[in-house]
Amino acid sequence: MKSKRYFNTTGFCMPERHYMIDPLRNQKIIFDLIEKTQYFTIHAPRQTGKTTLLHELAHRLNKEGNYISVVFSVESAGYRSITEEIANKKIINSLYSSSGQYLNKKNCPIPPEKYTKDLTLENYLIDWAISQTKPIVLLLDEIDSLYDDVLVSVLRQLRNGFQIRPKRFPSTVALVGLRDVREYKTKVRPSEVSLGSGSPFNIKAESILLGTFTKEEITELYSQHTKDTGQIFLKEVVDRIYELTGGQPWLVNAIAREIVVKILNEDFTKKITLDHVESAKENIIQRRDTHLDSLLDKLKESRVKNIVSAIINGDSLVYDNFNDDLRYVIDLGIIKDINNDIVFANEIYGEIIPRVLNFQLQKNIREQGTTSWYIKSNGKLDMDKLLKAFQEFYSENSEVWLERFDYKEAGPHLLLMAFLQRVINGGGRINREMAVGTGRTDLLIEFNGDKFVLELKLKRMPSARQKGLDQISRYLDTLGMTKGYLILFEIKPSSIIKWKTRLKWKKVSHQNKKITVVEM
């Protein structure tokens, strides 16, 4: 049976068209803040449901009849060269244009072209509030698209109006964007950061971070598809999708859509399997859909680069809850903090980020990356041969390549991952375990029924080899395995330590494990 609804991956969700979870299900706090005439911020990464929540909230408030509510975007004023005067006009035009989607004519503000006073956002909102009998709830989207004087001007006008609400100014204003209000200070000149207070928007009562889906919510979402079509997402399938996505709403919908529409061609009689989930993940990663592209674009920023490099290398950061770079990258949804472990936000991000970073390296690996060279007559992977070939390749190419590489600190790890990806593509998969402060990167490679454990470590200290042996032994214990490879990268240049002395290959026994130590 053809369903009228589908898994949405573009724009905000509408209940009559899309499978969706009620975006206001856990948001009692929002209604409490509105009732108390408070101002607050909502922030979350792109495509996590902010716009859907805003539309649902405005429509619900208007339907219940105690408030009048409008969602509007200020993005039209979001460029550096704009003047405050032009920005005010653009923002007011956006507000007026959007109000018609939510309100009847008598509740809308007057057309800006008929406004006779000085056209500022503050004046416009004052006159609109005075003309209404119900309090106004204003939901202001894309606030963090504004820069410099314009951002300061908007925040200042809202703060001025806060004092005369709710009779002469909107009762509640919510500022909505990718980042929390503390981040706005990075977009204005230092002299304008605080607006005379410790925060650029010191009238906010709360800062609300929208969360990801829980496993139960994914189950609820997918059960809507089952109800419409009879096609079931089994528990093991939901569990695996949760592992891959971390509950990130766009990914949750994208994986389901890829399986249902692309892989199974909307044949709802077909069973959804774990193999379908893995194929969907791979398709989405290889296609680099818009969501992933916008995420990956952030990798070019230096403050993102610092954190991402630390995760890939396992380097330590000075952990501070107010560390701006760290909080910024968490706000973007690229990473998460689990019990003080800083890791990529989900398995898909953890796989695509290294792949994207080493993509050019992978393309430049020519004949050495030919898969058939490393396959035994029985179809199994010869990991010893592969790593010896990489040792040679690394000694010949690494210094020249890494010198031009954007992520120099993580370069050795990414170069090996690129080599492995090139060889293993299509016949196996690489599972990565990376986190800030571990001092290493762990790889579990699966190929034609075999598993290989590789631990990658930079030789920053003389004790790196011994620590690496202890670490890979513990990692092998968690997997119930007894064999692995410890890969040690020398960080001193070849002018100090010559290649002929740094290239080593030795098999050792350590804590009842057989470890091949590969140095380069």
Q: How far apart are CA 146 and CA 19, in angstroms?
A: 33
Across 77-119, the runs of DSSP E, i.e. the strands, are none
pTM of the model: 0.84
Report which secondary-structure segment, H or E, holds 349: helix 347-357
Bridge-based pairing state of the strands 136-141 and 483-490: unpaired
Length of the chain: 520
- Give me the pLDDT at residue 316, please: 83
Which residue in the block uniquely carries the two structure tokens 């706000």? 331
Contact predicate 223/186, CB 8 Å? no
Q: Judging by DSSP bridges, how do beta strands 450-459 and 441-447 pair with one another?
A: antiparallel
The answer to whether the CB of 459 falls within 8 A of the CB of 474 is no
Q: Which residues does 324 contact at the CB level (< 8 Å), separation at least 6?
A: 183, 186, 303
The per-residue pLDDT for 188 is: 52
The full DSSP string for 446-480 is EETTEEEEEEEEEE-STTHHHHHHHHHHHHHHHHT
Asked if 165 contacts 145 with a C-beta cutoff of 8 angstroms, the reply is no
Residue 226: Cβ-neighbour burial (10 angstroms; 0-12, 13-18, 19+):
middle
Helix (H, G, I), strand (E, B) or coil at 330: helix
For the record, the structure tokens of 200 come out as: 């650029």
pLDDT at 438: 87
pLDDT at position 53: 94
In order along its 520 residues, the chain shows pLDDT tens digits of 667 899 999 888 999 999 999 999 888 999 999 999 999 999 888 888 898 999 999 999 999 999 999 999 999 999 989 999 999 999 999 999 999 999 999 999 999 999 988 999 999 999 999 999 999 999 999 998 998 889 989 999 999 999 999 999 999 999 998 777 655 555 555 444 444 444 446 777 788 888 899 999 999 999 999 999 999 999 999 999 999 999 999 999 999 999 999 999 999 999 999 999 999 999 999 888 778 888 888 898 988 998 999 999 998 876 555 577 888 898 888 999 888 889 999 999 999 999 888 887 787 787 788 889 999 999 999 999 999 999 999 999 898 888 888 888 899 999 999 999 989 876 788 999 998 888 889 999 999 999 999 999 999 889 999 999 999 999 999 999 999 999 999 999 888 989 989 999 999 999 999 999 999 9
Kind of pairing between the strands at 39-43 and 172-177? parallel
State both tokens at 174: 């919510």
The total of other beta-carbon atoms located within 10 Å of residue 424's CB is 20
The DSSP string of 238-249 is HHHHHHHHTT-H
Backbone φ and ψ for 493, nearest 5 degrees, come out as -70, 165
**CA 214 distance to own-chain centroid:** 16
Can you tell me which residue has the tokens 């818009």?
A: 290
Which value, in Å, is the radius of gyration of the alpha carbons in the chain?
Answer: 27
Tell me the C-alpha distance between 479 and 80, whole Å.
52
